[in-house]
Amino acid sequence: MGEYEHILVKRENDTVTITMNRAARRNSLSEEHLRELHAAFQAAGQSDATGIVLAGAGPVFSAGHDFGDVAARDLEGVRSLLRLCTDLMRTVQSVPQVVIARVHGLATAAGCQLVASCDLAVAAESAGFALPGGKGGWFCHTPAVPVARAVGRKRLMELALTGDPIDAATALDWGLVNRVVPDEQLDEAVADLLGRATRGSRASKALGKATLYAQLDRPEADAYAIAVEVMAAASQTPDAREGMAAFLEKRKPNWG
């Protein structure tokens, strides 16, 4: 899936693992790093894989934007960088595969944004999460967008205004992650949740993921309007027909 400088990409069976590999820079997100992540997710999205794992090498998951890169830019340069980061987050959610974050150590600022943007997240007990801009001079405006949608307004305000980290147990309670496990069980827990989330029809799952994101933040009436039309149309697809036939005939489905 290509050669990269800042990330590692591995395909094993139906799963692509994308690992941020700038441990010396705490997996901070420079422009080059963001571009490689974006390219890797696009490539994985176009493959026949069913799941994507996003991980980080070294002691932390990701420390967010690389200030060395940001500080050297003018207004248009920073705007361009943030648009690239936004494109990455949207790509994570638009690829047809289930995307799961494997989180160890700290995930701060845009690193926390990455976790919130993934479909699912499993955290080690050692993990921590923060939007630290509230303690500094550059507020976490863009990282707060997906975090708000995961944790709600009051909890977002606490994260963003204090800048203080929360531990993995709190992140679980707040809805930022799906599971928290002992560090030594992290890979096993990621594989288990991803395996359960990717079973069934790949085509049905891809349409389902896209529709969930399309209706998620809409008013209820609009959400139902979207869901009714998509679900009705989906009932006519080969995989839906096969799934219903298999259920009625009490046999295992044969997905196309």
**What are the tens digits of pLDDT across the range 104-139?**
999 999 999 999 999 999 999 999 999 999 999 999
pLDDT of residue 255: 85
Give the mean pLDDT of 238-254: 95
Contact 118, 72 (CB under 8 A): no
| pLDDT tens by residue, 78-94 | 999 999 999 999 999 99
DSSP state of 133: G
CA neighbor of 125 nearest in space, from 84, 164, 165, 172: 172
pLDDT, residue 55, reads: 98
- C-alpha 101 chain-centroid distance: 6
Edge-to-edge strands of the sheet including 120-124?
A: 7-12, 15-20, 51-56, 98-103, 120-124, 179-181
* pTM reported for the whole predicted model: 0.96
- At 2 the pLDDT is 63
pLDDT of 25 higher than 60: yes
User: Amino acid identity, residue 182?
Assistant: P
**Per-residue confidence (pLDDT) for residue 1, from 0 to 100:** 53
pLDDT of residue 17: 98
Measure the CA–CA gap between 80 and 62, rounded to whole angstroms. 20
Question: Rounded to an integer, what distance in angstroms lies between the CA atom of residue 112 and that of residue 174?
Answer: 13
Mean pLDDT calculated for residue range 146-164:
97
pLDDT at 3: 83
